[in-house]
Structures are given as structure tokens and as C-alpha cells.
Structure 1
Amino acid sequence: MTRLLLRRLRDLLVILVVVGTMMFFVIRLIPGDPALAILGPTARPADVAALRSAMGLDGSLWEQYLSWAGHVLHGDFGSSITYHQPVLGVVLEHIPPTLTLAVLSSVISFLLSVAVTSWYAVSPRNPLARALDRLSALGMAIPDFWISLVLVLVFSVTLRWLPSSGYHSLFTDPVQALPALVLPLVVLVIGQTALFVLTLRESMLGELPLAYLRTARAKGLSESRVMLRHVLPNALMPLITQLGSNFAMLVGGIVIIESIFVIPGLGHLLMGAVSTRDFPLIQGVTLFVALLFVLVNLLVDLSYAVIDPKVRVS
């Protein structure tokens, strides 16, 4: 376990260096001048040049990179051009909405997929269970923005049961937070549950021909007990892998959901940073998402050791 942690920490440093370096140079390819974007097209060239110098954009790319990397090593990610605040503070301020959506939708989708797939396993001849593949494929095929717009039209505009936008902290004001979270959570859960169901079902089908199940049936165990006690725990490994990678992608990729429902999360923050050429903020958000991706994969690897004794032995 210690060796695993050390390897992952080494990978974390390498990934952050690679991602940070690539992102630094890639975002410089975005057309437009940040100083000109702030001052406007009617600004005087002298004012634009002075602002570029104050922002550290007047040197060569390598000089800018070395200066930025040196500050990052000391925990200084620079100041946001748009918010006029330290990048780290701006990112930390926008993390809770995104993490709330990602955590809740992942947990709900995981539990639903386990429940639905287990029901399919013990009742394979049920007509609804047999339609599981088609329903899951449909859930993955429907675009998130289309589901979002339909839900807003039905439940917010027509029925007026739920708010169409807004965000309140679940920990400070749960009464107002829960109604605003329902629609975005439903959109995220539909797609994730469909993906998780297909993943878990394929994993369970791969377990069925194995010899240990014939031994379990020979002992007189019922089919439902065989499925739930033996097949399901062994089939969870691919689902946990999918859960970890999907969660990390959610944190950096729910831009559409946050934009439609006006949720001030990391995706919404990143879109605004790109449109305003806020280079320090783009780099800060990207590094945080990369850090989270590595940490989530580390937790997935550690969960393998908890669930599967073979992993602990190896």
C-alpha cells in the first residue's frame, strides 16, 4: 500500500507539470490580447502596453513560463484578470457548487445502477429487465442540453414546480438548495446511470461462466443469492473504475449544465475565463482539475485493495 501511494504521488507531480506546461503554451494560442480585452478597443497603445507589463505579458513566452512556474512552486497562482483576486481564492470559491453536483449525481447514479442491474440479474425474464439495454442506450444517446431544456420547459415553465436556475449552498440553506438542485441532478443522473448500468451488466455477464459460480450453485444456493452474494461484489471493480474517471470528468466538464441552470461552478468559471482571456484563471482551474483527477484515481486504486483480497496480496 505504501509503494502504491508513493507511485501515485510521483505520478501526481509528473501529471501536474505536464498539464501545467502544456496548458500554459496552449492558451497563448487563443486569439486576442488580455490587456486589450480589459481596456477595450478604444484604449491607447501606451495604456495597453503598461497593462501588459503589469500583467507580466511583455516578455518572451519562456520568460513568462519560468516566472509563472516559479510563483506556482511557492503557492502563488497569480491574480485573476477578471476578478482582480488571487486565482486560488477564486477557484476555491467556485468549487462547492461543482463538487456538490458531481458527488450527489455520482452517488445516486452508482446506487441506482447497482439496484437496477441486481434486479435484472435476479429477474432476467421480466419484460422491463429485458429492455434494460435499450433504455440504457437511450439514456446515453440523449444529449444533456436537450434533457435540460425539456425539464425546464415542463417543470419550471409549465408546471412551475421547480426553479429553472440559481444555486444555494446545500450546507447553509438546504431548504432553498434542494429544489434548485433537482433538475441538474436529474440530467446528470440519467446519463451516468445508463453508463454505469451497461458497465456493470457487462461485468456481471463476464463473471457468469466462471467455475466458482458452479461451485456455489452446487452447494444449493439460490440463483438470487449467487448473483447478489458472489457475482455482484466481483463485478463491481470495472464500475468503480468507471465511477472514478467519470467523477473527475464531471468536475471539469459540466459546463453545459452549469450554464443552462446558472450554477456558479468551475465549468461556468472556466468558460468565462476563456472568453475574457484570463490566462492565470484558466491555468489555475486546469491544474485543479488535473489534481482532482489524480486524487480520484488514487482513491479508486485504494478501493481495489479494500474490495479485492487478490489486489492486497499482489
Structure 2
Amino acid sequence: MGPDSSYDAETVAQVGEFGLIDRVTSGRDHSAGTLLGPGDDAAVLAAPDGRVVAATDVLVEQVHFRFDWSTPRQVGRKAVAVNLSDIAAMGAVPTGLLVGLGCSPETPAEVIDELAAGMWEEAQQVGIGLVGGDMVSAQAVTISVTALGDLRGRVPVTRAGARSGDVLAVAGRLGWAAAGLAVLGRGFRSPVAVVGAHRVPEPPYAAGPAAAAAGATSMIDISDGLLADLGHIAAASGVGVDVRTDQLPVPQRLSEVASALGADARHWVLTGGEDQALAATFPPGAELPEGWTAVGAVDEGAGVTVDGREYEGGSGWEHWRR
């Protein structure tokens, strides 16, 4: 299902590629690190650190978003947020965004205006902008965002540094987007808090660099679910990771929604994706930065356990799995 019919009749085919690019980019403010913005063959960004952190995500209509569940502006914000959280997970600070957009010729031009507005809104939360990209014809609205970042002299925090004895901690919301998806899947539009969490995640952007500065040994953003993404840290680091449910917060609001739907709020927290929270490991005795909560530990085993046992409820989202 495409965008609703409340938009103006003018389509992207009528506006044209270059007219559409102008509508997306003109009159926008860029950060001081953008030396040359949109309008040439490529953008030029400053790289004070001498290294560039880069991450790309692709969002496809009816797979990652639905216009009957989210507005184009909300989809635009989400498309940027899922990429900026990857930059934060490396301990880096965002510097710019490249955007590729595919849509059908019949797509209302106002939909693209709103997508772009949402992208700019989210980007400006961290003081950056859209510095370039491309637009093509496609059957479904497809958004590809590449986020760039700067490490500011720090070593990148990868998935491979966790060691036995480390403390496992998380920052940001867990389970809220999954709860929102469950609510929308039942045909409801409230509670607004959980539905809004599915529509627009709220990554803890500052928590990534803060964790790096505090000596985090490994870090990852939680896009597919806490257990699924911790599995990447466990595999890359050659360790076991145990989540302790007595330390894992389950907000009262999620418990209330789960009760109403006959679901399990703790399952949402453990396996729900798209909140774009962060998980990291810290050396024993390290002081956790503000916003981080200890939820488990690293040991000499392998894989991910919950309270010392294998979790039987599944781990999270995986493409192509049926």
C-alpha cells in the first residue's frame, strides 16, 4: 500500500529528477565540516581524525515501513536514525549523510518533500545534514542512507573486544518498537508511546562516544533484538554473554500493553528490534557513563544465554528467515 491520496496531485515524474533534488536540498543548513555540499559530482567533508566511519542501511516499503502505519516524515526520520545509531555504536560522531531514493513515477512529490523533511529533522539532532545522494525509479519506495562519522582521535569500538569478566550494559529503549509493531499489527493506533517508538526510534546518539571515552571494550547497536545482536559480539569476541533478567528493566508501560495483548513484555525487551539502543561491554570495575545500565556479564563460554540458560523464545529479526 502506497502513500494515501491526501497529497497534492503533482507527481515526481512531473517535477523531474533535478527539480526533486532541488526541493530536497535547497535552503538547508550544513555543518561546518561540510566543505562542499549537494550540487556537484560529489560532496567534500572534513575528516579531522584522518579516518572516516561509514555505515549503510536500506529501508524498503512494506518490509521496513508502511505508509498506512507511518507518515513519510516519520519514515524519513527512521531511515536516518537507523544509520546514525551505527555510527554511535563505533564510538564516533556523525559528520554527514548520503541518501539514495527509489520510487515510482506516480509517487506524489509531496511524499518526497515529507521524507526529506524527516531526514533533515533527524540529521539536525546531531548537527549534520544531507550532503548528496541519488534518485531512481523503483516499484516500491526504497531508501538507502549512508552515514559518515569521525572518531575524534579515539580507537573504534568494535564487536570483537569483549573479554571474560567484562560488564554488559545497555543504553536507550528496549522492547518499545516491538510493542508498537504488535499494537499496529492488531489494528490499533494507541498507546501513542509504543506506536510512536515503532514509527520513529530514539537512539541514544551521545551514549556511543561516551562509552568509547569510558573504555568500552565492545559495542553494537540493537537493530535486530538484544539477544540477536549480542550474538554478534559473542561470536566476534570469542566469548559467552549472559543477560540477567533481574537487572534488565521492563518498563511498566510495556507490561501493561503486553497484558492487554496477551504477550510477554520481557520477550519484547530481549528480542525486539528497531529501538536502535546500544549494548556495550566495559572492563570490570569501570564506572558506567550516564544513561548506561548494567544488565549482565561476559564469560569464557560461547553464545548468548539468559540467566545462564539458552533462551527458547527466539533471538530476534533475521532477513530471509521464514
- Class of the TM-score when normalised by the shorter of the 2 chains: under 0.3
* Higher alpha-carbon Rg: 1
**Higher RCO (C-alpha 8 Å, min separation 6):** 1
More strand by share: 2
TM-score with structure 1 setting the length: 0.23
